[in-house]
Amino acid sequence: MQNNLKIAFIGLGNMGGPMALNLLKAKFKLTVFDLMPQAVATLVAQGATSAKTAIEAVSGADVVISMLPAGKHVDALYLGSENQAGLISVLDKKCLVIDSSTIDTATAQKVGKALAEQGIASIDAPVSGGVGGATAGTLTFIVGGEKVHFEQALPVLNKMGKNIFLAGPLGAGQTAKICNNMLLSVLMAGTSEALQLAIDNGLDPKVVSDIMLQSSGRNWTLELYNPCPDVMPNVPSSKGYKGGFMVDLMKKDLGLAMDTATKSHSSTPMGELAQRLYSQHSEQGNGQLDFSSIFTLFSNQSKKS
């Protein structure tokens, strides 16, 4: 059975690709666009319609979903830039815009307000759960916007995620997501540091991971995303830190968290330290690796001493 909603999906990277695939599996009519032809071809092979431009992709769409790297890409896509017209000039008034990229709250609010002024509804709906969650359709969506638009989006978000929260008004999804990712970076760095300490003292990282999983150090990274190679199958650390959530994207999120903390005069010393560690790790040429590769910052240090 074909689902009647027409969805345009823009940004088919590590996250957007599998999210779009789940919409296809749910039988939505899907038109896709990405700057990388290969990403488009993968979805077309599964039944999506391709578009040559973002503007072509949104023609006749009931829902537009974007999954782009950063605020500047989202701003340019919807509001336009020197080189291209923004989607705002062509979107139908009954269309619902769902931006799932993780971006700064100010840009999310700016884009949302500009769309609202043209009578176009939108929500910010960043996600948590990584590529694994995107593939399995079990993402957590953290939404900012009006309740009516949140409810309108639910039948679509339900096909890509399991837990869907309304955090507050426009931009609140981004603020909540940034708080989550700051905590995640601290947990990942702390877990890596603890595992390396155990290894340096002659312990087996798999045994220590099992112990900590049943002890008070238990956390998401140990449960689902162990950063030490070969402790857990099918996670980036056991695949050369390929795929997953890039160091440079985590670095971006920590920058957003620190900007948010500066604006609200919040004290975030753990977040600041995590930002320094991720920046150092990126400067050493690891920006494109999965963020769990922060483990190597500690293991390489141990090898040197």
**Rule CB under 6 A: is residue 12 a binding residue for ligand NAD?**
yes
Buried b (16+ CB within 10 A) or exposed e, 43-57: beeeebbebeebbeb
Structure tokens at 289: 């690796």
Q: Which of 276, 232, 220 is closest to 250 using CA atoms? A: 276
User: Which residue, 63 or 249, has its beta carbon nearer to ligand NAD?
Assistant: 249
Which one-letter DSSP state was computed for residue 286?
I
Minimum distance from CB of 107 to ligand NAD (Å)? 11
Minimum distance from CB of 177 to ligand NAD (Å)? 8
Region of 68-76, 145-153, 213-221, 259-267 interacting with ligand NAD (CB under 6 A): 68-76
Q: Crossing angle of helices 105-117/172-200, nearest 10°?
A: 160
Minimum distance from CB of 10 to ligand NAD (Å)? 5
Please identify which residue in 86, 112, 130, 144 interacts with ligand NAD, judged by CB under 6 A. 130
- Residues 43-62 binding ligand NAD (CB under 6 A) are 54
3-state secondary structure of 139: strand
User: Which residue, 107 or 268, has its beta carbon nearer to ligand NAD?
Assistant: 107
177 tagged catalytic:
yes
Site string for ligand NAD, 83-122 (x = CB under 6 A): ------------------xx--------------------
Please identify which residue in 27, 41, 62, 69 interacts with ligand NAD, judged by CB under 6 A. 69
Dihedral through CA 186, CA 187, CA 188, CA 193, nearest 10? 90
Helices (H), 161-292: 172-200, 205-213, 220-224, 247-264, 269-281
Residue with the CB atom nearest ligand NAD in the bound state: 13
Minimum distance from CB of 176 to ligand NAD (Å)? 13
Beta bridge partners of 164: 141
Please identify which residue in 7, 51, 64, 68 interacts with ligand NAD, judged by CB under 6 A. 68
Structure tokens at 254: 């920590």
Please identify which residue in 7, 8, 15, 143 interacts with ligand NAD, judged by CB under 6 A. 15
CA distance 20 to 281: 31
**Rule CB under 6 A: is residue 16 a binding residue for ligand NAD?**
yes
Are 41 and 15 in contact by the 8 Å Cβ rule? The answer is: no
**Rule CB under 6 A: is residue 77 a binding residue for ligand NAD?**
yes
**Rule CB under 6 A: is residue 14 a binding residue for ligand NAD?**
yes
Give the active site residue among 159, 177, 251, 252. 177
- Residues 213-252 binding ligand NAD (CB under 6 A) are 244-245, 249
**Rule CB under 6 A: is residue 33 a binding residue for ligand NAD?**
yes
CA distance 254 to 266: 14
CA distance 78 to 71: 11
Cα dihedral sign, 90-53-113-29? positive
Which one-letter DSSP state was computed for residue 141?
E
The residues of the shown chain that bind ligand NAD, judged by CB under 6 A, are 10-16, 33-36, 39, 54, 67-69, 73, 77, 101-102, 127, 130-131, 244-245, 249
Active site residues: 177
